[in-house]
Amino acid sequence: MTNHVTIVGSLNVDTTMKVKRMPLPGETIAALSKTNAAGGKGANQAVAAARSGAETAFVGQVGDDAGGKMMINDLKNNNVDTTGIHVDDQAGTGSAAILLDESGQNSILVYGGANQQLSVKEVEDARDQIAAADFVIAQFETPQEATLRAFQIAKENGVKTILNPAPAHEINPDLLKLTDLIIPNETESAALTGIIITDETSMLMSAAKFAQMGVRNLIITVGAKGAFYCTQDGYNFIPAFKVNAVDTTAAGDTFIGALSSQLKPDMSNIEKAIVYAQRASSLAVQKLGALPSIPTYDEVVAASKNN
């Protein structure tokens, strides 16, 4: 059965500059190369879901500019339904400036632009795409008011909700109560719960804290180490695949999008879905760029057979 996934999120044009090392404060260094590509957490997650076989729709906003046209075309070319994307004639399309060093680590500056103008109205206009989904996914690169309305519509229609609280900041408690699955990385988890992730005990404490806030299903991604999950049916830590990372920009987004393509709405196959998502993420970090690095279902399956 094919999953239907609707993403409510951000669309950014990424400019990546490769550097030997990160500059120190006040220091000017030469960039080794510069590339432009479609990105944004929302777009990355949508493309990851679509390339892994999910029927994918997008709810978001771009500016009336060349970057906006590029974003819509790139999503269409990846079989993402873009009818829920509005064009804002006031704000420019979101953008990100990414510094990428030789070890594959990055620092990112994000300009929200039209992403920050996404409102309840645009979400209401996309009610049909939200109601028809198996999963609705949102992040924090668009306003929480829009996400809250999207999750309300989802719950009214029996749709499961996935929240990626990135970048981490204060969350509306009502939004957490409407979240079926929350997927932070270890830094975001600590920012939201106050519990530093060091071992399994701290992860279980974090799961208990999120449950107190209203979210009963949790996945914490821990970079190259793997991912911890905790649901009402159990918990486990699943190690990541060992690879040589070139660019980690879209690692977490690839994980979430790929996961949503495979996860059953009742989450009964969560461990199997996490393994698939980790394989997809391990392939993404071996290539440059956000969208260009995201693998297809066939590529993930082929990599699984080769290892």
Which residues are part of a known binding site for ATP? 185, 221-226, 252-253
Packing angle between helix 297-306 and helix 270-284, nearest 10 degrees? 90
Distance CA 216, CA 11 (A): 29
Report the sign of the C-alpha dihedral through residues 73, 288, 272, 257, in that order: negative
197-203 long-range contacts, CB within 8 A, separation 24+: 197/222, 200/228, 200/237, 203/228, 203/230, 203/235, 203/237
Integer angstrom CA distances of residue 262 from 145, 183, 218, 293: 28, 15, 16, 19
DSSP labels, 147-168: HHHHHHHHHHTT-EEEE---S-
Known active-site residue 125: no
Choose, from 125, 253, 266, 298, the residue flagged as catalytic. 253
Going by C-beta distance under 8 Å and a sequence separation of 6 or more, which residues neighbour residue 299? 283
226-231 and 234-239 beta bridge pairing: antiparallel
Cα–chain center distance at 264: 18
What three-state secondary structure class fits 52? coil
Q: Which two tokens stand for residue 203?
A: 């992860």
Residues classed as catalytic: 253
